[in-house]
Structure 1
Amino acid sequence: MSSISIVGLGNVARTLAGRALAGGNAVEIIGRDPGRTKDVAAALGGATAGTAGAAPTGDIVILAVPYASAAAVVREYGDALRGKIIIDVTNPVTPDLKGFVTPDGSSGAQEIAKAAPAGAHVVKAFNTVFSHVLAADAAGTRPLDVFIAGDDAQAKEQVSAFVTSLGLRPLDTGDLPMARALENVGLLELGLMTQLKHADFSLGITILG
C-alpha cells in the first residue's frame, strides 16, 4: 500500500484520510494548528500528526487545501517535495461558481506544477467527487470513478493503485493539460448542484457492451 501525507484539516482531508486508512495505507495529517492536527489524527485512529513546514513523510502528498493557497503551500515546502507525487484535488473556481481564477489556457494543477520543485510530479485527482459522496460511497454496486491526469506515467500508476486501495475506480484521462477538462467537470458539477438544490450525485463512466 501507499504512504500518504495529507496537507489540510477540512472535510476533504478527513474523508480521504479515513478511506486511506481503511485501505491499509499509512497516513500523515499535516495542519498549521498543531493542537487541531493532533485532534484530527487521533479522531481518525491510526493516522500520525505531522508538523507544518517539515518534510512530509509520505511518498504521495495530497493538497487538501483551497486552491488559493495550494501553490503557496508547495512553494513553502520547496525541495522537501522533490521526488514526491503531489495530488491536486482543488477546483479553482470563481466565487460565483461560473468560471475559473486560473490564467486562460491553464489549469489549477498546471499552476501548482509550476510552483513544484524539479523531480516532483503533480497529478490531478478527486476534484470531481464531492467529499460527502466519497464519505458515503453511495454509488450502488459499482465503485465511484476518480478521474486522474498527469505527465508522469509511473506517478499515475502509483496514484491509480492508491485510488484502487480506497475501493474506487481510477480512470486515466491523459497528460496534465487534461486537468483543465477535469476542472471543467468540477465546474459542471457545481452548476448541477445549484440547479438540483443538492449535491447527492457523482459523475462517472458506464462501459457499454
Structure 2
Amino acid sequence: MATITIIGTGNMANAIGGVLADGGTSVTYISHEQSGSAALEGDVVVLAVPYPAVDGILGAYGDQLAGKTVVDITNPLDFSTFDSLVVPAGSSATEQIAQKLPNSRVLKAFNTTFAATLSAKKVGDLQTTVLIAGDDADAKGTLAAAIEAGGVSALDAGSLARAHELEALGFLQLNLAAGEKIAWTGGFGLVR
C-alpha cells in the first residue's frame, strides 16, 4: 500500500487524509510553512494548498518529487473576483505542474469535492466520488484504491488533458457555493 504525504493542513488536507487513513493508508502531513524543510516520506504527495502556493512548493522540493506521484487538488481561480480561472484557456494547473515535474506522475484529483463531502463520504444521498485525471494508469489505480478503501468512490476521468474540464467543474462548484446557491456541504453527485 502506498504511503502518502499531504502538503497542507487545512480543511481539504484533513478531509483527504481522513479518508485515506480510514482505508489504512499511512498519511503524514507537512504544513505549507514547513515546505522544503520537512522530508517527503510518501510515495504519493498531495498538494493540498491554494494554487498560488504551488510554485513555491515545487521550488522547495524540486528533485525530491522525481519518481513520486504528485496529486494536484487545486482550482486555479482568481480568488479576488471568483469570475475566472488564471491558467491559459485550454490548459490546466495540473498540466502546468506536470511540465515542471517531468520525472513525476502528476494527477488531478479531489478538486471537484468539498472537504465536508469528503468527510461525510456523501453528497446528499449519494456516495462522494473523487474524479481522477492523469496519464499514468498505475498511479491512478493506486490512488483510486486508497480512496475506495477509505469509503469514497473514485472514478478515472481520463488523461491529464481532462484536468482542464475538472478544473472548470471545480470552478463552477466553488462559484455556486461562494454565491450561496449551494451549501459548502453540497456539491455534484455522480450516479453510475
What TM-score does the superposition give when structure 1 sets the normalisation length? 0.83
- Whether 1:93 aligns to 2:46 is no
CA contact (8 A) 2:121 2:151 kept: no
Match of 2:133, SS state, is strand
Any unmatched runs of 5+ in structure 2? none
Distance in structure 2 (CA, Å) of the matches to 1:143 and 1:28: 25
* 1:173 alignment partner, SS class: strand
CA contact (8 A) 1:30 1:52 kept: no
| Counterpart mapping for 1:120-131 below 5 A | 120-131=104-115
Which segments of 5 or more consecutive residues in structure 1 lack a partner in the other structure? Answer: 35-50
Which residue in 1 is equivalent to 2:181?
A: 196
Q: Summarize the Cα distance change of 1:32–1:205 in structure 2 as closer, same or farther, 3 Å threshold.
A: closer
**For residues 53-100 of structure 1, what are the alpha-carbon distances to aligned partners after superposition, in whole Å with 9 as ceiling and x for unaligned?**
344111110001110111321232111111100000010011221111
Is 64-73 or 13-22 further displaced after alignment?
13-22
Residues 11, 131 of structure 1: 8 Å contact kept: yes
CA distance in 1, matches of 2:78, 2:124: 32
For 1:25, the equivalent position in structure 2 comes to 25
* Larger RCO (CA under 8 A, 6+ residues apart): 2
TM-score, normalised with respect to structure 2: 0.90
1:40-189 equivalence runs, <5 A: 52-95=36-79, 96-116=81-101, 118-139=102-123, 142-189=126-173
CA distance 1:115–1:192, change in 2 (3 Å) = same
**Percent identical:** 38
The answer on whether the counterparts of 2:45 and 2:68 sit within 8 Å (CA) in structure 1 is: yes
Larger Rg: 1
Residues 89, 159 of structure 1: alpha-carbon distance in 2 compared, 3 angstrom cutoff: same
Deviation of the 1:202 alpha carbon: 2.4
Give the number of equivalent residue pairs.
190
Q: CA deviation at 1:197?
A: 5.4
1:140 CA drift (Å): 5.8
Q: Which residue pairs with 2:4 in the alignment?
A: 4
CA RMSD of aligned residues (A): 1.8
Instruction: Tell me how far apart the structure 2 counterparts of residues 133 and 141 of structure 1 sit (CA, whole Å).
Output: 11
Q: Which runs of 4+ in 1 moved over 3 A?
A: 51-55, 138-142
Deviation at 1:115, TM superposition (A): 1.9
